[in-house]
């Protein structure tokens, strides 16, 4: 397995892109730049959560040492991030309310990335074979191809306990 095909490496690449995206907002010089950066970042965040919910967490919830709790936490975090993104869309870019919603998305995302990287992904790596990591990595890339620009993805919140019950 080359490391680029490993689903955990692909996820870490996205996480790094999110941190860079939020940092770029700090440097935007006008609303047009803010909008361009935010539109791409928000879409990427939404697609990433859907991809994890389709590909990573169905495995972790079944096989992780603490899979059910980690999964319920993650779905709850994804909901908070989705909600903040949806809230930002209700306000003019650059307005106080917009910055407040983007700030919430940033804070929730930073907390979530830490939990995912320090708890969920280590748990996953302990149980997933090299082959599975490559196979899920392949599915991850296919998912992004099939849902370019969020095509056919509803970006709806999911009930964490229901998700766990449906997938365990
Ligand atoms: Fe993630
Ligand atoms: Fe996540």
Question: Under a CB-based contact definition with an 8 Å cutoff, are residues 47 and 147 in contact?
Answer: yes
Structural domain boundaries enclosing 134 = 7-166
Is residue 125, in this structure, part of any structural domain at all? yes
pLDDT grade, residue 5 (50/70/90)? confident
What spacing in Å lies between the alpha carbon of 78 and ligand 2's midpoint? 6
69 in a structural domain: yes
**Ligand 2 centroid vs 10 CA: distance in angstroms?**
12
Residue 36 belongs to a domain: yes
CA distances from 51 to 46, 55, 93 (A): 9, 6, 27
Instruction: Let me know if residue 1 belongs to a domain.
Output: no
| CA 94 to chain CA mean position, Å | 24
Interval between CA 6 and ligand 1 midpoint (Å): 14
Ligand 1: distance of its center to the CA of 97 in Å? 26
CB-based contact 147:153 (threshold 8 Å): yes
Task: Indicate whether 77 belongs to any domain.
Answer: yes
Residue 21 in domain: yes
Residue 42 located in a structural domain = yes
Domain count, the chain: 1
User: How many whole angstroms separate alpha carbon 71 and alpha carbon 52?
Assistant: 10
pTM: 0.96
Name the DSSP letter for residue 30: S
Q: What is the pLDDT of residue 4?
A: 65
Residue range 7-31, pLDDT digits in tens: 999 999 999 999 999 999 999 999 9
pLDDT at 3 over 80: no
């Amino acid at each position: 397995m080359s490391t680029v095909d490993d689903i955990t490496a692909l996820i870490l690449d996205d996480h790094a892109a999110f941190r860079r995206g939020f940092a770029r907002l700090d440097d935007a010089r006008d609303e047009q730049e803010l909008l361009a950066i935010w539109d791409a970042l928000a879409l990427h965040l939404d697609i990433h959560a859907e991809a994890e919910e389709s590909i990573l967490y169905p495995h972790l919830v079944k096989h992780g040492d603490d899979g059910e709790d980690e999964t319920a936490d993650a779905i709850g975090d994804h909901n908070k991030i989705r909600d903040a993104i949806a809230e930002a869309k209700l306000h003019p870019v650059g307005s106080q309310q917009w910055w407040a919603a983007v700030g919430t998305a940033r804070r929730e995302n930073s907390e979530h990335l830490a939990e995912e990287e320090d708890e969920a992904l280590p748990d996953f790596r302990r149980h997933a074979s090299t082959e599975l990591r490559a196979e899920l990595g392949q599915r991850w890339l296919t998912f992004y191809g099939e849902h370019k620009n969020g095509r056919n993805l509803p970006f709806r919140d999911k009930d964490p306990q229901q998700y766990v019950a449906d997938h365990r």
